[in-house]
């Protein structure tokens, strides 16, 4: 852990290598609704545009999202002296801007936003960061992996799908029609965000910064995105967890064409263990989706178990060689459609890459140029 930083920042330049690729918003596959052991702060589902103070100076803002499954996001406004710190910003559309514009006058009482923090790169978190930073002359704070990947993905907007992407999905087992759909939809990321500022302040794991006179610590996880920042305030016993820890859904953990041999699922499982070692069980978890809750350890245990059981089922299923596109039924409860296939196949490859890294499956290229995965007998190299 580094020493406490100056009052105005929660960041430090550093030299950690940037993380792996991870594109658009996810959270579709492998939903896990088991939350009986969690203690939610309310039974009511707030309306879009609502505000609630969940701890001293920490305000919970609810915004609608224009997606069918994931229809809302929680954003956070933190009192900071004469100004405010905003954590995550919402997707870049007219409705979100209208809600923010109202909050600027009412909740924020016309006071400035002095820092904009984004937990990770996905558009529902970064969408209005550029707009807000420019409006208030505020710095953007992100981890290096998230900032640069966000810039990179926005730069793909309007470009044609790359050969590497087409090959990745062909090897996974996509049909020609599914490849065409991938090509058609490629490069849409930048349409959901306002342009990010061309410089940022880097968040580093373990770093302490001051917000509203209290110390907040950066806790970084990986798997859903390369270098996701959670913000933990021990004094308030509160952690803003973004998509790294959610109460009702299992965050999407995918392999993407930019880094086809990556193993984000092992990163994700390791991050769950890390969060469990850092956060007390009774910490108030303020997630990006769902209702704030207590019961961090129960939830993290459940998430680990959820993926380990999926790996076990997948291992059994691959005694007969399988393509990545043939394992959906083992991993997901909901049907796979044109709307969620990219995330489903990404999550399938993530589980297969994890089994492969653990030495439990072998992978071969078949005569059609597709990868098949076959379970290895236990105890072999
Ligand atoms: Zn996300």
Longest CA pairwise span in the chain (Å): 66
Q: What is the pLDDT of residues 306-317, one digit of tens each?
A: 999 999 999 999
The alpha carbon of 225 and the centre of ligand 1 are apart by a number of angstroms equal to 7
Q: Which residues pair with 64 in a beta bridge?
A: 72
**How far is the centre of ligand 1, averaged over its atoms, from the C-alpha of 63 (Å)?**
15
Ligand 1: centre distance to CA 123 (Å): 8
- Ligand 1 centre to CA of 377 (Å) is 36
**Is the CB of residue 185 less than 8 Å from the CB of residue 339?**
no
Q: Rounded to the nearest whole angstrom, what is the distance from the C-alpha of residue 224 to the centroid of ligand 1?
A: 7
**Distance, CA of 87 to CA of 218 (rounded, Å):** 12
Angle at 313 between CA 307 and CA 315, to 5 degrees: 100
Classify 27 in phi/psi space as left (phi over 0), alpha (psi -120 to 50) or beta: left
How far apart are the CA of 114 and the centre of ligand 1, in A? Answer: 24
User: 26 C-alpha vs ligand 1 centroid, how far in Å?
Assistant: 6
Distance from residue 37's CA to the centre of ligand 1 (Å): 24
CA of 252 to the centre of ligand 1 (A): 8
C-alpha distance from residue 1 to each of 34, 143, 212, 242, 346 (Å): 34, 16, 21, 21, 34
| CA 365–ligand 1 middle distance (angstroms) | 32
Rounded to the nearest whole angstrom, what is the distance from the C-alpha of residue 310 to the centroid of ligand 1?
Answer: 21
What distance in angstroms lies between residue 163's CA and the mean position of ligand 1's atoms? 26
pLDDT confidence of residue 68? 72
Alpha carbon of 19 to ligand 1 centroid (Å):
15
The Cα angle at residue 166 between residues 164 and 362, in degrees rounded to 5: 75
Dist. CA 25 → ligand 1 center (Å)? 5
In angstroms, how far is the first alpha carbon of the chain from the final one?
Answer: 38
User: What pLDDT is stored for residue 34 in this prediction?
Assistant: 53
What is the CA(120)–ligand 1 centre distance, in A?
7
CA 112 – ligand 1 centroid, Å: 27
* 243 CA from centroid of ligand 1 (Å): 5
**Six-digit token string for 127:** 């969408």
Three-state DSSP at 211 gives strand
Cα–Cα distance, 333 to 246 (Å, whole number): 18
Taken in order of first residue, the domains within the chain and their CATH numbers are 39-159+186-313 (3.60.15.10)
Q: Which residue ranges in the chain fall short of pLDDT 50? A: 1-33
The reported pLDDT for the residue numbered 14 is: 25
Position 22 scores a pLDDT of 29
Contact between 203 and 117 under an 8 Å Cβ cutoff? The reply is yes
The alpha carbon of 46 and the centre of ligand 1 are apart by a number of angstroms equal to 20
- DSSP-assigned letter for residue 24: S
Residues 101 and 113: their CA atoms lie apart, in Å, by 12
What angle separates helix 341-357 from helix 176-185, to the nearest 10 degrees?
Answer: 110
pLDDT at 67: 80
From the CA of 366, how far away is ligand 1's center (Å)? 34
Distance 173 CA to ligand 1 centre (A): 25
The Å distance, Cα 165 to ligand 1 centre, comes to: 21
Supply the pLDDT for residue 37. Answer: 80
Q: What pLDDT is recorded for position 291?
A: 96
């Amino acid at each position: 852990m580094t020493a406490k930083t100056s009052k105005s920042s929660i960041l430090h330049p550093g030299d950690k290598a940037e993380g792996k690729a991870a594109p658009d918003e996810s959270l579709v596959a492998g939903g896990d609704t088991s939350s009986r052991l969690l203690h939610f702060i309310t039974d009511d589902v707030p309306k879009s545009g609502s505000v609630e103070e969940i701890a001293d100076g920490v305000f919970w803002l609810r915004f609608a999202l224009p997606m069918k499954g994931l229809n809302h996001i929680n954003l956070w406004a933190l009192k900071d002296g004469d100004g405010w710190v905003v954590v995550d910003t919402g997707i870049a559309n007219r409705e979100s801007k209208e809600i923010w514009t109202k909050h600027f006058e009412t909740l924020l009482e016309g006071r400035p936003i002095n820092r904009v923090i984004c937990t990770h790169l996905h558009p529902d978190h970064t969408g209005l960061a550029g707009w807000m930073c420019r409006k208030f002359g505020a710095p953007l704070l992100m981890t290096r992996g998230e900032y640069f990947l966000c810039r990179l993905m926005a730069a793909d907007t309007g470009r044609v799908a790359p050969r590497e992407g087409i090959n990745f999905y062909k090897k996974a087992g996509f049909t020609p029609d599914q490849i065409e759909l991938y090509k058609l939809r490629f490069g849409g990321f930048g349409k959901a965000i306002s342009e990010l500022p061309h410089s940022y302040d880097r968040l580093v794991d373990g770093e302490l910064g001051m917000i509203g006179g209290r110390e907040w610590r950066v806790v970084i996880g990986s798997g859903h995105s390369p270098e996701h920042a959670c913000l933990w305030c021990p004094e308030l016993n509160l952690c803003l967890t973004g998509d790294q820890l959610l109460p009702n859904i299992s965050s999407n953990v995918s392999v993407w064409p930019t880094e086809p041999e990556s193993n984000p699922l092992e990163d994700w499982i390791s991050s769950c263990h890390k969060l469990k070692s850092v956060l007390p069980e009774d910490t108030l978890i303020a997630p990006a989706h769902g209702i704030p809750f207590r019961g961090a350890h129960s939830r993290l245990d459940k998430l680990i178990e959820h993926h380990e059981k999926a790996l076990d089922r997948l291992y059994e299923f691959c005694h007969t060689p399988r393509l990545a596109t043939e394992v959906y039924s083992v991993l997901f409860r909901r049907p796979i459609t044109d709307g969620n296939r990219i995330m489903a196949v990404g999550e399938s490859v993530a589980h297969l890459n994890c089994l492969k890294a653990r030495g439990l499956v072998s992978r071969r290229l078949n005569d059609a140029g597709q990868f098949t995965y076959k379970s290895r007998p236990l105890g072999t190299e």
